[in-house]
Structure 1
Amino acid sequence: MLPDQPQTQPFRLLNGVRVLDLTTSIAAPYATMLLGDLGAEVVKVERPGAGDDARAWGPPFLEGESLWYLSVNRNKASVTLDFASDEGREVLYRLVSVADVVVTNLVPRVQAKLKVDHASLKAVRPDLIFVSLTGFGLSGARSTKSAYDLIAEGYSGVMDITGEAESPPQKVGTPAADLLAGMDAVIGALAALYDRARTRQGHVVDISMVESMTRFLTPRIVTYLGSGEVPRRTGARDSVIAIYQAFQTADDPITLGLGNNGLWRRFWEAVGVPGVGLEERFANNSDRHAQRAEIVDKIQSILRGQGREHWLALFDRAGIPAGPINRVDEIAHDPELFERGFLFKMMRDGLSIPQVGLGIQVDGAPSTPRTPPPELGQHTDQILSEWCGLDADQLQSLRAKGVV
């Protein structure tokens, strides 16, 4: 059972920063959630009646709500607004005029069509931080294309080097391109806000999912460019470090990383065969790399003799990097993650919503979220009143016309 959310103070590092979230799906909503976790006030603008695309992604659902949506939308207020209409766009521009950051994941041609591109919004708020997170960026021949995580992973090269050597290319087991691009959007927004505080100048932050995912391959790409050696799929083994891979024990698999000569020798001492660690033919990583198959067979034959917990305890005492290969259900019940306030539940009108925390501690404590993921349009009247000054009659008129 998940613990309650951390009993610490919400982060206020971005207190006073207003973020207007015009996004759907995972990547950009993840970015705006992180900004909210850091203390920004985030208003999520959604289509009346439908909302964020991710609200329909399921099963599984939690009492009718998409768990994918619930995973990336805490610390936000939800406003429904049809800004494709002239009247709705006028309201949107009033929101933009008092926002510090606008985030969109619409492709450039749709940004321009709906008049929510940088040029249009800059005319409303000259010092705006405009964050665009799309599949291929704001420029280039591919900028008109739409993309999802799967498409970006394919373009990036990560799928070609993921999986066992004899298997077909594999997608990463989490939406890696989405989450990496979301983090890049936050980095860009924070840097732009910092610069605006000094210069009073706005900025365009242009994030490409393909480039964020491709940058994740930096060591592999640079290695190829410098050597001409094309990386190949090696499964749970590193192509350079010997030994650095997964092994099967008598019950469950483990990971083992022998990244330097000292660890190599300590490992063999720990398993009771110190002579192997001292053999001249295994003296350095290059030597071990050349004889990896023989070494792997030796290690595997030893590790199959005992179960996972035996080896992890032994390696922990010896200071050897090793760990379990956890299933998601094991991670979700990890007491260490509970204790650090990383996994928790939030309550909303009696509904218990599971959450994964920010994973950043400041001054020795994690942040506690201010608000759970919102229901569609939950804060429409509140935000349009507070940010735009609309009164009850104006709100009723917009609602009657289907604008909100």
Structure 2
Amino acid sequence: MEGLPVVEAGAGFTFLSGIKVLDLTTSVAGPYASMLLSDFGAEIIKVERPGGDDARGWGPPFLDGESLWFTAVNRNKKSIVLDLEDATDRANLRGLAVQADVVITNQPPKAQRKLGLDYEAFATLRPDIIFTSITGFGLTGERSDLTCYDLIAEGYSGVMDITGEADGGPQKIGAPAADMLAGQDAAMATIAALFDRMRTGKGHLVDVSLVESMTRFLSCRVSPYLGAGEVPARSGGTDSVIAIYQQFATSDLSLTLGLGNDGIWHRFWKAVGDQAYGERPEFRSNTLRRASRNEIVAKIQSILLTSPRDHWLTLFAGARVPAGPINTVEDVASDRALRERGLFFALRDGDRIVPQIGLGIRIDGRTAIPRSAPPRLGEHSHEYATAGATGPSV
């Protein structure tokens, strides 16, 4: 956390102020969904089983005994502990559900029904409930009760098959992409359902699956197959509908370069001092440039090897040619522009200081300020014990 600006917990955004969410999820996708809702102002009651969210144990590294994976997706929440296998605790949960606007779960449908924690059960208690389910494969279909993680979803989606070097094996994306995409989808759909409830008074069942969210991420690769039978293959990130859209080596560090239209194509060749090459008739369109991709790539590579990366990035920035570094996580975390935008900070909450990655969305010039740090397990159980007990019993 060295060098991170310290932010005090504050009020934050209030767009969803008054919305109460029961978060029954664990791991990454569900907690990320509820954290996004919390960043917009919703109150999140994080219901954890004895022992807590699985992600609390995902380490090392740990900070003050807490997994840094867990703290990445659980700010602004209040943690209570309930054993949902226990009838009394399920009754307490139902008491809380009567007062809630949203329930988020990531249990497979069979487990939801077994414990009476499915949409129908909650809708009986509160007909206008928004019930958001995040599962591996969705609530219907032959795979609906299979267990799933991000890795499994990435394999099903096709993204692993097209990620990696041409002569290598399939690779997982270097982040829990399916989890994060499904969590974002769940938050977006929940807000849409809440908006409709405001107009109609009706509750909704939101059904999000990791596999479908991850597969939709590949829309621009799946569409050419559906429409033209084009099957993408692993290529080390060099194969794109855009003729020149890949990484290149320089005399020191690699960079990325995207010559995405005719104007950029000509500006690039003018910038590197070979305007005539860019004006050759056989390169006058992206379709023609794709046919000569290997020749063009070799030509560009020979030029870029003559100078260091930062020379080229400065040159291309001045010429309005899209290019950038290939940062490490360390590079990203220390990026001055991102820090100035407030994306990385250390959150002070009482005697705790926890590193955080911000919402990254500005509204009216403001960004979300966290209301509280990620909770300790069961930290807020006492606040909700009475509220839950007053609700209906099983």
Question: What is the CA distance between 1:389 and its match in structure 2?
Answer: 6.6
Task: Confirm or deny: 8 A CA contact 2:8 2:347 kept in the other structure.
Answer: no
Cross-structure match for 1:157: 158
1:388 partner amino acid = G
Judged with a 3 Å threshold, the aligned counterparts in structure 2 of structure 1 residues 89 and 389 are, in CA distance, closer, same or farther, namely: closer
Judged with a 3 Å threshold, the aligned counterparts in structure 2 of structure 1 residues 63 and 157 are, in CA distance, closer, same or farther, namely: same
Task: Confirm or deny: 8 A CA contact 1:135 1:146 kept in the other structure.
Answer: yes
Question: What is the CA distance between 1:239 and its match in structure 2?
Answer: 2.3
1:238-260, Cα deviation, whole Å (9 max, x unpaired) = 42111111001111111101011
Task: Confirm or deny: 8 A CA contact 1:75 1:369 kept in the other structure.
Answer: yes
Cross-structure match for 1:47: 49
State the distance in 1 between where 2:118 and 2:10 align.
Answer: 39
State the distance in 2 between where 1:108 and 1:388 align.
Answer: 24
1:359 partner amino acid = G
1:358 partner amino acid = L
State the distance in 1 between where 2:13 and 2:340 align.
Answer: 18
1:224-247, Cα deviation, whole Å (9 max, x unpaired) = 011111111121224211111100
1:27 partner amino acid = A
Cross-structure match for 1:393: none
Question: What is the CA distance between 1:383 and its match in structure 2?
Answer: 2.5
1:276-331, Cα deviation, whole Å (9 max, x unpaired) = 11111111111111111111111111111111111000000000011111100000
State the distance in 2 between where 1:80 and 1:354 align.
Answer: 25
TM-score norm. by structure 1 comes to 0.94
Cross-structure match for 1:306: 307
Task: Confirm or deny: 8 A CA contact 1:254 1:308 kept in the other structure.
Answer: yes
The share of aligned pairs that are identical, in percent, is 56
Judged with a 3 Å threshold, the aligned counterparts in structure 2 of structure 1 residues 295 and 238 are, in CA distance, closer, same or farther, namely: same
Cross-structure match for 2:15: 13
1:2 partner amino acid = L
State the distance in 1 between where 2:163 and 2:54 align.
Answer: 29
Task: Confirm or deny: 8 A CA contact 1:6 1:366 kept in the other structure.
Answer: no
Q: Would you identify which runs of 4 or more consecutive aligned residues in structure 1 move more than 4 Å?
A: 6-9
State the distance in 2 between where 1:325 and 1:144 align.
Answer: 40
Cross-structure match for 1:103: 104
Q: Secondary structure at the match of 2:317?
A: helix
Task: Confirm or deny: 8 A CA contact 2:9 2:372 kept in the other structure.
Answer: no
1:38 partner amino acid = F
- Give unmatched runs, 5+ long, in structure 2: none
Cross-structure match for 2:388: 388
Matched, 1:362 2:366: no
Cross-structure match for 1:59: 60
Q: Secondary structure at the match of 1:111?
A: helix
1:4-403 matches, cutoff 5 A: 4-5=6-7, 9-48=11-50, 50-385=51-386, 387-388=387-388
Q: Secondary structure at the match of 1:112?
A: helix
Q: Secondary structure at the match of 1:355?
A: strand
Judged with a 3 Å threshold, the aligned counterparts in structure 2 of structure 1 residues 6 and 245 are, in CA distance, closer, same or farther, namely: farther
Question: What is the CA distance between 1:9 and its match in structure 2?
Answer: 4.9
Task: Confirm or deny: 8 A CA contact 2:9 2:349 kept in the other structure.
Answer: no
Q: Secondary structure at the match of 1:226?
A: helix
Task: Confirm or deny: 8 A CA contact 1:7 1:368 kept in the other structure.
Answer: yes
Judged with a 3 Å threshold, the aligned counterparts in structure 2 of structure 1 residues 7 and 369 are, in CA distance, closer, same or farther, namely: closer
TM-score norm. by structure 2 comes to 0.96
